[in-house]
Amino acid sequence: MKNRRSFFEKLTGAVRLDEDEMLSEAPAKGRGRPSLLEETEEEAAQLSVDVYNTPSEIVIKTMVPGVKPDELDVSITRDLVTIRGERSEDRTVSDDDYIHRELYWGSFVREIPLPEEISVDDAEAVEKHGLLILRLPKLDKHRQTRLKVRGN
């Protein structure tokens, strides 16, 4: 039975290898070390991300080279961001001609739980030269407003 990945491994995209796996698995022909973006049988690859706080927003950065902005699917809720897409390989070179392969081709998905609630309506996503930047304004839980009470 395959071990489930920990929350930290899902969040960071880290790969856990036990000693037996590291010693017994030789790299496939034409490939170097396994990439963190390698796809498993049951799920798409995960993107590596940087997530940080500013006083007013949460910022997420990830590299998505080779994916057009309109082909990215970015879904957000108040406490979760999901980034999906697919990198398509230009198949002009046969597998036997490769000396070394590390680039990931295929579908990817990344779910990022957020440490604070955000304003979904004010969030923005910008892609430039393969760098995707999401700016997610934090909800101001201390903000108050006065409601006028209307009579019938």
Please report, for the chain, the start and end positions of each structural domain, with discontinuous segments joined by +: 7-137
Mean pLDDT by 10 residues, the chain (152 residues): 57 55 44 44 74 95 90 92 87 84 84 93 92 93 78 77
The residue among 37, 38, 33 whose CA lies nearest residue 64 is 37
Q: What φ, ψ does residue 64 adopt, rounded to 5°? A: -135, 50
pLDDT given at position 101: 82
What is the pLDDT, as a whole number, of residue 106?
85
7-137 — its CATH code? 2.60.40.790
In angstroms and rounded to an integer, the radius of gyration of the C-alpha atoms of the chain is: 20
